[in-house]
Amino acid sequence: ISKILEKVMLLQLDRHFSTNNIYYSSQYGFQKNKSTEHALLELTDRILHQMDMNKAPTTIFFDLS
């Protein structure tokens, strides 16, 4: 029953976050139609943009799992 309750709560939170535009635009986890491929494309685009401006792109990655 805990898994069912967890799923119901997740669906309600997702609906609330989506309806109220709470999700950060660059967040890719927990959102439909936003995959890791999209995240990598955005990261690559930002890195190339910084390099075009003769800046050194810097990234920090956190694994919270």
Q: Which two tokens stand for residue 9?
A: 């709560």
Q: Is residue 27 part of a domain?
A: yes
| pLDDT value, residue 21 | 86
Give the number of domains in the chain: 1
Domain span at residue 32 reads 2-52
Q: What is the pLDDT of residues 4-54, one digit of tens each?
A: 999 999 899 888 988 898 887 777 776 777 888 888 999 999 999 999 999
- Smallest CA-to-CA distance from 23 within 48, 33, 47, 45 is with 33
User: Is 13 inside any structural domain?
Assistant: yes
Within a domain: 29:
yes
Q: Is residue 20 part of a domain?
A: yes
63 vs 44, which has greater pLDDT?
Answer: 44
Whether residue 64 has pLDDT greater than 80: no
Rounded CA Rg of the chain:
16
Residue 53: per-residue pLDDT:
96
Q: Is 14 within the bounds of a domain? A: yes
Is residue 65 predicted with pLDDT exceeding 80? no
Domain contains 35: yes
How many Å apart are CA 54 and CA 65, to the nearest integer? 35
- Whether residue 64 lies inside any domain: the answer is no
